[in-house]
Structure 1
């Protein structure tokens, strides 16, 4: 099968397209998916660079989510049938390949009104946003939600699902185009976080603060969040790239909370409810993944660059395996054994 592979941790140039990678073997509890599209996420770039707590054994294929068609099911699997359209998360083998092995509990039906490229953006962004909003923050209809970074994959997912659940959605973006996208997807008010006085503007408009804050870059924004959160408010840290110093008194004065959110800590019994809720919103056309750009499998290195730059975040970046591979980089055999 065709598969993107990383043979040594480091820069994006270490991603190569291989043409004769063995198809993964599945266990009785797993599903083999013929991948039609794979999502590309920041976590993929952390793993590929070697800056991640749990690194895979080399060589490996990147990709932690995708969508496709069930090719084979294990002997114990009763929840799926061969030929079914599905989306998935946390594959055993990477999703940036023609086939991926996935535990059946991480595979979910893909509604007929959702394309494979759209489905490829559900497994991390929408599950993470749902877990942050409704499992960890326990957001209720009528509450206000501020999304610090509302135009990335998780941010836009939270905007859409929050709106669908009757929450008042506010947020930030880095460009006028990003602001327009967030507003079009259900946000009530979006400010530019590149403006020096954006926090003061929000404080003047929302003197009581926000009930829930979703934070995508805590090492930069957490002190702003402590000012913006309301009494008894909840700050969910979804993304972080460094350390920051805060004054705990800010939490004490409002009895607010800082909650860490990591999709990998989701318990198995939580997945069916989360996926069913997301699928219900998809079927009712209440939410729709926003695709920023589609790349061919041979262009995965460029997709990683785009994710790392974050210069114009406005939706998901996906690899569409039906797109023709225009170039096939050769992997030197000497390096492939490192």
Structure 2
């Protein structure tokens, strides 16, 4: 039986609670595959899980996406074969490792033109943008979207996707350098929220009308302001909690602010079925292979430096996507 290095944590807490252990890895069962990772992605959801915001049964491994080569497939797996290059975003966590047996449903063949680091960096973030722009609310050329954290991994993909669709994207970020990066990747306008009030600036940029859609992964710190940026009957998409969970609020506020719409989607509902997941991944791969989307990998860490990686993400000193290499 093979063994693998795996990052686990025994109790919620800061980056220091993570440790690397050796674990046995057996053969895949029905509906499963065994994957030898070349790289795995780092995402803010990993921090939520490690810190206990999204509780897991402990001890637990971390990591929601990876890329590598299929070593073996179990019975009933028909879309993959040993030797296939693959990438995935999937639950439960466990991608921070060399070798893994997992359900094959969300594992997708990775085109030869996309390297493993890019594959590991793009799946969770890219599929998130795919459902935000194509499956959450009807968007069309000429629509205006406010996108928070526009220089992050999801944000830079969103900037490019918006440009490809002819959507006006107003991006926010926390420094002039990050704002410049978001603009380089396709944001129509940018707001440095450390220097300017984003609500005031959005109203100025839209001549007082407000935006059609807000895409907000920040949560508590931006939620009320995001609502104030919407036009009447606009859509608020709250899809993350980087600053903490949005506290309970009176639904009547939505009516008072202009009959606003609100949704809280998750990627894992969208990719739960194999056919839909594969379709979404194919769309994402097509966008990358066409050159419309370029995956910006701002940081690369070795697996043994995972604590340093999490500290960098929490300090908001990263840009674009981050990956662990194996």
Normalising to structure 1: TM-score of the pair?
0.87
The 5-angstrom pairing of residues 1-338 of structure 1 reads 1-18=4-21, 20-53=22-55, 55-58=56-59, 60-92=60-92, 94-206=94-206, 207-240=208-241, 241-244=244-247, 248-266=252-270, 267-268=272-273, 269-310=275-316, 312-321=317-326
Helix, strand or coil at the partner of 1:21: strand
What is the alpha-carbon distance in structure 2 between the residues aligned to residue 81 and residue 296 of structure 1?
Answer: 28
Deviates more, 1:166-175 or 1:259-268: 259-268
Aligned pairs, number: 317
What is the alpha-carbon distance in structure 2 between the residues aligned to residue 34 and residue 164 of structure 1?
Answer: 34
What is the alpha-carbon distance in structure 2 between the residues aligned to residue 168 and residue 111 of structure 1?
Answer: 30
Question: What are the ranges of 5 or more consecutive residues in structure 2 without an aligned counterpart?
Answer: none
Shift in Å, 1:185: 1.0
Superposed CA offset, 1:129-181 (max 9, x none): 22222211222232111102211122222222222222221111111111111
- Contact 1:93–1:100 at 8 Å: present in 2 too? no
Q: From the superposition, tell whether residues 27 and 166 of structure 1 become closer, same or farther in structure 2 (CA, over 3 Å).
A: farther
Shift in Å, 1:208: 1.9
Superposed CA offset, 1:2-29 (max 9, x none): 22232333332222223x3212542221
Helix, strand or coil at the partner of 1:138: coil
Shift in Å, 1:297: 0.7
What is the alpha-carbon distance in structure 1 between the residues aligned to residue 324 and residue 312 of structure 2?
Answer: 12
Q: From the superposition, tell whether residues 211 and 93 of structure 1 become closer, same or farther in structure 2 (CA, over 3 Å).
A: closer
What is the alpha-carbon distance in structure 1 between the residues aligned to residue 306 and residue 27 of structure 2?
Answer: 24
Helix, strand or coil at the partner of 2:80: coil
- Contact 1:37–1:68 at 8 Å: present in 2 too? yes
What is the alpha-carbon distance in structure 2 between the residues aligned to residue 102 and residue 164 of structure 1?
Answer: 34
Shift in Å, 1:62: 1.2
- Contact 2:42–2:323 at 8 Å: present in 1 too? yes
- Contact 2:27–2:72 at 8 Å: present in 1 too? no
Deviates more, 1:142-151 or 1:85-94: 85-94
Q: Which has the higher contact order (CA 8 A, sep 6+)?
A: 1
- Contact 1:208–1:230 at 8 Å: present in 2 too? yes
What is the alpha-carbon distance in structure 2 between the residues aligned to residue 95 and residue 254 of structure 1?
Answer: 43
Shift in Å, 1:38: 0.8
Superposed CA offset, 1:196-244 (max 9, x none): 4332122112022111110111211122112211233211001121344
Q: From the superposition, tell whether residues 17 and 161 of structure 1 become closer, same or farther in structure 2 (CA, over 3 Å).
A: same
What is the alpha-carbon distance in structure 2 between the residues aligned to residue 272 and residue 9 of structure 1?
Answer: 33
Q: From the superposition, tell whether residues 150 and 85 of structure 1 become closer, same or farther in structure 2 (CA, over 3 Å).
A: same
What is the alpha-carbon distance in structure 2 between the residues aligned to residue 256 and residue 107 of structure 1?
Answer: 37
- Contact 1:111–1:282 at 8 Å: present in 2 too? no
- Contact 2:87–2:120 at 8 Å: present in 1 too? yes
What is the alpha-carbon distance in structure 1 between the residues aligned to residue 204 and residue 74 of structure 2?
Answer: 57
Normalising to structure 2: TM-score of the pair?
0.90
Q: From the superposition, tell whether residues 242 and 115 of structure 1 become closer, same or farther in structure 2 (CA, over 3 Å).
A: same
Root mean square deviation of aligned Cα:
2.0
